[in-house]
Each structure stands twice: as structure tokens, then as C-alpha cells.
Amino acid sequence: MQYFIDVILPIPLERLFTYSITRAESEFLKAGMRVAVPFGKSKVYTALVFEIHQQQPVAYEAKEIHQILDDAPIITQTQLTHWQWIAEYYLCTLGDVLRAALPNSFLLESETIITKNNDKIINDVDLKDEEFLVYEALHHQSSLKLHDLISILDKKNVFPVINSLLDKDAIVLQEEVYEKYKPKLVRYVKLSSQYSESEKLQHLLEELSRAPKQRDVIMTLFSISAQTKKPVKVSDLSDASDASPAIIKTLIDKEILEEYHFQEDRVAYSGDANEASKTLNIYQEKALEEIQQSFEKFNITLLHGVTSSGKTEVYVKLIEEVISKGKQVLYLLPEIALTTQLVSRLETYFGGKVSVYHSKYSSHERFELWNNVLQNQPKAQIVLGARSSIFLPFHDLGLVIVDEEHETSFKQFDPAPRYHARDAAIVLASLFKSKTLLGSATPSLESYHNVKQGKYGLVEITHRFNDVMMPDIELVDIQDKHKRKRMKGHFSDRLIEEMTEALRVGHQIILFQNRRGFSPIVECTTCGHAPQCPNCDVSLTFHQYKNELRCHYCGYYTAMLKNCMACGSVELDNKGFGTEQVQEEAKELFPEYKVGRMDLDTTRGKFGYDKIITAFEQKEIDILVGTQMLTKGLDFRNVKLVGIMNADNMLNFPDFRALERSFQLMLQVSGRAGRTDERGKVLIQTYNPHHRILHQVSTNNYAEMYLEQMDERHNFKYPPIYRLIKITLKHKDFNKVNIGAEWYATGLRQVFKSNILGPEFPPISRIRNQFHKNILVKIPPQQSLSKTKKAIVKINNSFLSIKEFRSVRVILNVDNF
Ligand code: ADP
Ligand code: ZN
Ligand code: ZN
């Protein structure tokens, strides 16, 4: 009798691959365990056992595996089922899913490069002989590949040694370019020790009677310390005493206060829960009850609650209930930028039961969390994560929460699997027979449509917490302002007025400038030439800070030009404006205030966001300029004014969702204003003050926006009425893409008739020297999705079997919006 296993290889193969195993191995192995296998001429991969059986493969002779890597499955049966759904639905391979799902260190292969972990001191005695040999070798050579290890150890099976070195954190794998973990530093103050004698203190207070504000700060410091008996944060002190950072700084400079820092550890929170969750107000209470009732009828419920209505506290109650039954909770967030505030909030309620999972964490951190979830450890009972956390090995998932469900960053665009985490999470919950709660102040049309179709339940909260009024939104016609010379740079007189007043009374301000469609392009005023990226069909954008021209598609950059490349003129003008320019202008308008900026360029790295968010929270920044990152669920107490610099580039974005997205973005940014007692103010600058969407934003009229947009989707056959699959062909040869796309589209038209759009070159048709051409398949509501996909796969296979097209890359993107 012969024994075989089918495995998933971490490469995009259409089928599973079969290897032969011994009888003993067949008794030991289970689906979900890893094995090291040879592949091709000389490669070694980590593969995942999918099935154990006795059928010899027909087409090839099965090779033997190198070895077994696990004692027990690291992937559950439920995960395998889930992965199969993902592969089928999103038209990708199980290998694609495997790669996306597992932390790198689980997937060693022949190409893996190993280096020493210089951040950790390893004691030689802690290493076994073979581990020591490898570690020693890394002292002399900065990096090693698998075959080096094979010769150092003189054996084929080196994975276990690597694994145990990884376990000990002694080595790292080189694909990881992760930012090292930096704990967050929080500023504290205490009274300088020279005043511990009461006489000296007395003297000090007398002296300060001439500086009442400074005296106030000291008195407040005493009363906070007396109350909390804990170190005092600078931010708490300045809140409680109403003192500006400048006053506290003066006291520090005069050596009356002493400043010190504590590390706030985020990855490993060891503290206990120290607060009971909040008592819900009547609206939240009602929402909670309605959600519970809704769950009796529906597997999925949408919580539509205006910004600052206290949705998070409602989630907390649901989470409490689920974890009290010993079940796990997955809390999905669009971007980890949000987690800083949320993690600390959840930790005060749930202590060490909260774990965060994110691709920016190092492979080692992710590996640890993976195991915690797999072993059902209490410290991973609540997983807070971005989209990739849907791949974790949950055991007993009791609830999925998808916060800010309308966010487009839940969809993965590249590489495959091109999944939507909200939708994949719903499927995951259903595999556990559990419920999913979607939450948003501005639900996606597709989720709201599902409510209207009777597929999801709906619960609403229309009151902000504490009955704070929705912000007052004012539209500013900048065309008119330009005509009447009432603009200073990109700031209208209205915006400047409101900013001046807000700053005067000590409020903070957010200025929003959308990144999409923004391009400070350099143009020659003499001949009109704009410098282009040599690899892509786009103009380079100007980055003032580094005085560089950059391509946002391929990363190409060059120093800013002194003369026009075409005519030599020195009169180069930068058109358009971005966050950087807004920041510069704001600094000039308000030189005595601190202006910060939050966008992709200022927040690179794991803790980039944190620094800016913390600085803003602690009022070290008065005016924060940012992109859509600012829209996301952040809770800043002291912001009373939000300025949207230009609404038009959002509204005019060439995409069928542009208006829906504009509505969501603007309402979300507006929601950052006036979250506590006073009513906030929002100014939207626009050339189209009569645009319907802007009116819907200013009156917070979701219902009208929904109806009007759905009309458009009906008329133009777009989601959520029709479904979409986008097919992209890529090649460096323009003709090949062109001819190939024609062939492909003709094949599709024979089956789907007029529901095929294109082939069409996208606005940017060449990226990284590859030409792109798109074909769009529109799927009417009655048409079977699975049959449609089968037909596409068939056409795809015939396309790739044609010799001249074989080198063309085809990308299938299901629900590509
Ligand atoms: P949303 O997520 O709906 O925008 P949040 O959950 O962030 O709203 O709540 C807004 C603010 O109100 C937060 O600062 C939160 O701490 C506070 N809050 C919400 N519910 C309560 C409650 N029941 N008791 C006290 N404070 C609350
Ligand atoms: Zn020129
Ligand atoms: Zn480029």
C-alpha cells in the first residue's frame, strides 16, 4: 500500500501537488501540518498538508517529502474551508491564500535569507549545538541562504534548526523590512525634588503668586497626584489646569517641574483591566437591545450610528457578553492607524485579553499572536486587526465586528488574493455559526442595499453622545472668493476668520486635503512641459520638503529641476496643491501656532501615526493638516473646527463611487469636529457650492444620498445592482497587450454579449514599464455568479494556452471597487 499527501504550495499553482509519504508518516500527519518538500530542480518549499490519501497521481511521479515540520496542525479545518471559499470566490489559488495568510517565518523556503537579529543578545549556552553552528556562522557572514545552512550542518533537513532559532528570536528572515518595535514614550512631570522640603515649597508658592497661571499649574499638579496617587501625564495636567504647553514648558525650564518619560508598551500589555465599561445612555441601550434582537433573525446586522454616537461602547458590551462565554472576538478595523486610541480604550476594559494583529508587525510578533490564537490563549481572546487578521486560526469565534465597514482599505488590491476583508469575515463568522456586526456612520451602498433587500438587519443611533449637536457645516464658494480677491493662497477669508477665532479661544483645527487627485505637478510656464516618470505614464509630483520630483507609482525620484527639460526656461510653476503646501501656507498665516501634518509621507513606519496623533492629543500641535487618514475614527476632544480645503477633486474623481466616497469622506472628517460639549464648525471650500452631494453632506442626509446614488447605479449598471469583475492584462510590449486584450474581450463577448466593457487603457496605462489594459465584466443581478466565473476561467485558460500570449500577466479582480 502506498501513501500520499496533497499539499498547498505557497506559489500560484492551479492544483494541489501530490507527494509520497511512508505509512508511519501517514499515521502521524494531519491536514493543516507543514512539511518541507522539494519542488522543481532544486527548490525547497514549506507546504501545507491538505489531504492524506492513497491515490497515486496520474500525470507525474510523486516525490518524497523532505520532512514533517509540525507536531500538530497549525491551520484548522475551518481555515481550510474558509481559504477554499476565498480562492473560489476571488478567483485565485490556494497558494496565493497560503502566502497571504501565514506569517513569513512559517514559510521557509530555499530562497529565504537569514540574518542575525542584532537587537537581541543571545547567550551561547542557550543554543543547542547545531543552532550554535549557524549562529556562529552569522558572526562571520552577514547573511546565509538555505543551501549554506545545508553545507554548514551537513544535512538536508535544516528547517527545524531555523525554526528554533526563530523561536529564540536569534535570527530574522530578510524579506522583513519591518520597522523595529519602538515603545511609545509618554511625557510625565513631577515637582522638582528641591521642593520636597515644605519650607522651600512655601517659598516657591509665594514667589509664584506673581505668576498666577504657573501657580495654578502647581496647585493642579498637587490635586491630581493626591487624587490618583499615580504619576501625572503632561497632557492630563494641561487639561486639568487649562494651561498651555508653553506655561508648563516655562516651569520645566525654570527647573520647578521635572520632566520624565515612561514607556507605554503596546504589544505586550500586561496590566489587568482597570475600568468597568461605561454605562450606556438610552440610545446606546436601545441600540444594544435591537442588535441582540436583530441577531435572532439575521446573521449580519448593520449599525448605522452618526459620528460620535458611541458605537464603540456598544461593541464593548457585545464583546463582554461573548468573551464571558469563553469565545473569541474578531474586531476588524480598516487601518491600524486607528488602533492606538482604540487599543488603549479596549485595554482599560479587557486588560491583557486584547491582541493586535497587523502586517506592519514583525514576523516574530505575528508568529506569537498566531500561536496564541491557535491555542485559544486568553490573551488573544479579542483580536483587533486590519484585514489580514481574517486569516488567524480561530477556534471558537463568537462574534465579528467590522468597524467603519464602508472603508475601501478592507479590499486588498495587490497581490492576490484580492479579497474584501469585510465580506471574507462575514463568511468566516458563518463557518462558526456566529454573527457579524457592521458599523459605520456612513455605510457603504452595498451594505445598505443588503439591508433594503432584507439580507441584513439594521439598527440606528441618530443622537451623538451627550447630545452634542452635529457640526454646523458651511459651504464656501471659492470661485466667488477668487473673483473678489478674498483668497490668500488656498485659504478663503471665511476659513481664516474661523481659524483665527478657534485658535484665539484655544481650540485645535483639522485641515483636510484629499490625497487622491492631488498632484503638485511642475509645469513650465513658457512651453507647458511637465516632467514625466521614465517608467510610467504620469507626471512627477513635487515634494517640497526634500526638493524632489517623485513618481507615486514606482517610487522613481530625482532632484527638482532648475530649468525646463524641454525649453530651458527657469520659470517652473507647481500646479495643484497638496498637504505640504497647505501646511506651508497655514504656517505663514498663523506663524505663532504649531502646524503639523499627517499623510503617507509623515507616517511611514509602525509608530509614525502614533507620534503625530499623540502630539495632537497632547496639544503640541494646534493645526493638523492631513489626508483621508484623518477621517478614520480618531477621537480628538479639543477640535472644534474642520476645514475641507477643496471638495472638488474628490467629487470629480473618475470612478463610479466618487460621489459616495466624497459623501463618506466629508462626513467622517466633519465628525472630528466638536465631539464633546460645544458644537463644532466645518467649512467646505468648493467651486460647486450647489452640488447635491455637498448639500447632502451639510444636512447629513444619508437617505437622500443613498436613493440618488442607487438610481445612478441602476441606470449605469454598477454595483451593488450589478457585480463587477475586472480583468487586467499586463506586458512590457504595447502590441502584445493590445492584441491580447482584443482576443480576450472577443472571447468574453461571445458569452456575455454587451455586458463587457473595454478593453480600455486606464488613465495611467504604463506603470513600472508595463502596459496595462482593462476589461470589465458586468454581471446582471439574475446571472449566476459561479457560472460566470467558470466561463471566465475557461476563457482565461484558453488565452494562456496560446503561445504568444503566455508571457502576458492576467489579473482577475472580483468586486474590484
Ligand atoms: P463613534 O464610534 O460612534 O464615533 P465613540 O464610541 O468614539 O463614537 O464615542 C464618542 C465619545 O463619547 C468617546 O469619547 C466615548 O468615550 C464617549 N462615550 C460614548 N459612550 C459613552 C458612555 N456610555 N459613557 C461615557 N462616555 C461615552
Ligand atoms: Zn519649457
Ligand atoms: Zn514611475
Mean pLDDT by 10 residues, the chain (817 residues): 94 92 95 92 88 93 90 95 97 95 80 80 84 86 81 82 85 54 62 79 84 86 77 82 82 85 48 73 97 98 94 96 96 76 85 83 79 91 93 96 94 94 98 97 97 97 89 93 91 96 94 65 76 81 79 81 84 73 92 87 64 83 86 75 89 84 92 79 93 95 97 93 95 94 96 92 84 94 94 95 94 93
Residue closest via CA to ligand 1's atom 19 equals 310
Residue 459, pLDDT score: 98
The set of protein residues with a Cβ atom below 6 angstroms from ligand 1 is: 278-281, 284, 305, 307-313, 465, 635, 675
567 belongs to an annotated ligand binding site? yes
**Angle CA 157–161–165, to nearest 5:** 155
Of all ligands present, the nearest one to the C-alpha of 766 is 3
- Is residue 388 within 8 A of residue 363, CB to CB? The reply is no
Q: Are strands 756-760 and 770-779 parallel, antiparallel or unpaired?
A: antiparallel
pLDDT tens-digit series, residues 78-137: 999 999 999 999 999 999 999 999 987 788 776 778 888 877 778 888 888 889 888 888
Residue 110 burial (CB count, 10 A): 16
* Distance between first and last Cα of the chain: 51
Q: What residue's CA is closest to ligand 1, atom 20?
A: 310
| CB burial string 699-710: b at 16+ within 10 A, e below | ebebeebbeebb
* Residues forming a β-bridge with 271: none
Which residues partner with 538 through β-bridges? none
How many Å lie between the centroid of ligand 1 and the Cα of residue 669?
17
Distances (CA, A) of 632 to 301, 361, 665, 685, 699: 21, 20, 9, 21, 21
* Pocket test residue of 281, 309, 312 for ligand 1, highest count of atoms within 8 A of CB: 312
Q: Is the separation of the CB atoms in 646 and 490 below 8 Å? A: yes
Nearest atom in ligand 1 to 403's CA:
2
Q: What is the pLDDT of residue 265?
A: 39
Q: What's the CA gap between 178 and 228, in Å, rounded?
A: 38
**pTM of the predicted protein model:** 0.80
Per-residue pLDDT at 520: 66
What does the pLDDT read at residue 606? 54
- Comparing CA positions, the residue from 469, 449, 472, 451 lying closest to residue 460 is 451
Please list, residue by residue across 300-330, b when 16 or more beta carbons sit within 10 angstroms of its beta carbon and e when fewer do. Answer: bbbbbbbbbbbbbbbbbbbbeebbeeebbbb
Is 92 annotated to bind ligand?
A: no
Sheet-wide strand order for 257-264:
232-233, 184-191, 257-264
The distance between the two most distant Cα atoms of the chain, rounded to a whole number of Å, is 96
Select from 225, 219, 261 the least CA-distant residue to 614. 261
Enumerate residues with CB within 5 Å of ligand 3 (an ion): 533, 535-536, 551, 553-554, 556
What one-character DSSP code corresponds to residue 332? E
CA of 682 to the centre of ligand 1 (A): 21
| C-alpha separations of 465 from 307, 461, 641, 664 in Å | 9, 10, 19, 20
Peptide bond into 720 cis (omega under 30): yes
Q: Which three cell numbers stand for residue 5?
A: 499527501
Pocket test for ligand 1, best of 313, 316, 442 (most atoms within 8 A of CB): 313
> Nearest ligand, CA of residue 276?
1
Buried b (16+ CB within 10 A) or exposed e, 379-408: bbbbbbbbbbbbbbbbeebbbbbbbbbbbe
Cell 516525490, located at residue: 63
Give Cα 378 distance to the centre of its chain.
Answer: 25
CB neighbourhood size of 550 (10 A): 17
